[in-house]
Amino acid sequence: MKNEPQATASAHTFQSVKEIESNAKARMEKVLSDLQHDMAAVRTGRATISLLDSVRADYYGTPTPLNQVATLHVPEPTLITVAPWDIRRDANENVKKLLKDKTISEDEDRRAHDEIQKLTDGSIQRLDSAAKAKEKEILEFK
Query: How much of the chain, in percent, has pLDDT values that exceed 70?
Result: 87
Read off the pLDDT of residues 5-51 as tens digits, 9 standing for 90 and up. Answer: 344 555 678 999 999 999 999 999 998 888 887 776 666 567 778 77
pTM exceeds 0.85, yes or no: no
> Residue 122: what residue type?
G
**DSSP state letters, 80-112:** EEEEE--HHHHHHHHHHHHHHTTSS-HHHHHHH
Which homologous superfamily does the CATH classification assign to the domain defined by 16-137? Ribosome-recycling factor (1.10.132.20)
